[in-house]
Amino acid sequence: MSVANEWSRIEAWCRTHAPVTAAAFQPGLGDAVVEEFEASTGVTWPQELLELYRVHNGSLTHDDRTGLFLGSVLPDKFFYPIDVATEVRLTLLETWDETIYENPDLYAEDEMDRHDQRDAGTAATMFIPSFVPFAGLDEYHYFVDTRNGALHHCVTEYASDATDNGGPIWASISVMLGAHAAALETGSTIGVWKPVVSKGVLEWEVDA
């Protein structure tokens, strides 16, 4: 299983069944560009995160001219272009830096560093430098956990109202993509979400 292989399954399905959404996938980036953004975060990205951006640099969400929704491979989030991903990460870190500074009775000064030293998959109850988001919507984001340990490069959701307390959802990006590819190919659900297509646009509905 690899990011490229699982994306190829998703692309093949979308080209046939949801061509509008397929056309919204953005071209992948060269190694130098991906590595430059990786370096800007100060953490080492798992190979699958690097591969994700080499395959596709996120996707468009709406048509610039008409404003029409273009669909999404994910039920309730969108894949971020790499510049958006790093900007979202920086904003979340700055927010938590400020929160820690303003609440010395609740957080130790080195709170982030302490959580960064724990094993991947361990709840931090905040956003820490080892987290790299790659998809999201509003205040909800999927991130890769770059910390060491058995769950290194697992995918977890960060939410403003629950932080990362839900724990890892997928073992890796390729596992996540494989689950979504299977849902598309079989018409099955991802959690409560079922894929539907309307006028070439991939959308997701809650399966009653």
pLDDT, tens digit (0-9, with 9 covering 90-100), for 90-126: 999 999 999 999 999 999 999 999 999 999 999 999 9
**Strand pairing category for 140-145 and 56-59:** unpaired
Number of Cβ atoms within 10 Å of the Cβ of 47: 14
pLDDT at 54 over 90: yes
d(CA 107, CA 192): 36
> Per-residue pLDDT for 208 more than 80?
no
Q: pLDDT digits over 73-92, tens only? A: 999 899 999 999 999 999 99
Q: How many Å apart are CA 69 and CA 64, to the nearest integer?
A: 10
pLDDT band at 205 (very low <50, low <70, confident <90, very high): very high
pLDDT at site 118: 96
pTM exceeding the 0.85 threshold for the entire prediction? yes
Say which residue the tokens 């991130």 belong to. 143
> What pLDDT sits at residue 161?
83
DSSP alpha helices (H): ranges in 27-126?
31-41, 47-55, 82-102, 111-116
Cα dist from 62 to 13, 15, 71, 93, 170, whole Å = 20, 18, 8, 28, 27
